[in-house]
């Protein structure tokens, strides 16, 4: 089995190797946060509700629209 980490030069203590492995493990595990899911408004029940009819110009046309 081939080792994942080989120290080529110097004499590292087990604590130094453990610190190096911990730093490399945390750096590799970092991922970009996933984007927030988009809201699907087409199935929102509020869309089917009628908006209030306000008095004004062409208000009679708006009263027939959903």
**What is the tens place of the pLDDT at every residue in 21-65?**
888 877 765 667 778 888 777 788 877 787 776 777 877 776 676
Domain annotation covers residue 9: no
* Structural domains of the chain, count: 1
pLDDT at position 66, please?
58
The CA radius of gyration of the chain, in Å to the nearest whole number, is 32
Domain annotation covers residue 20: yes
Domain range enclosing 22: 14-63
Domain annotation covers residue 6: no
Domain annotation covers residue 3: no
CB 5 within 8 A of CB 21: yes
User: Measured in Å, how far apart are the chain's first and last C-alpha atoms?
Assistant: 70
pLDDT at position 33, please?
77
């Amino acid at each position: 089995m081939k080792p994942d980490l080989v120290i080529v030069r110097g004499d590292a203590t087990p604590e130094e190797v453990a610190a190096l492995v911990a730093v490399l493990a945390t750096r590799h595990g970092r991922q970009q946060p996933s984007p927030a899911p988009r809201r699907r408004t087409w199935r929102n029940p509020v869309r089917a509700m009628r908006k209030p009819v306000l008095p004004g110009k062409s208000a009679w046309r708006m009263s027939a629209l959903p």
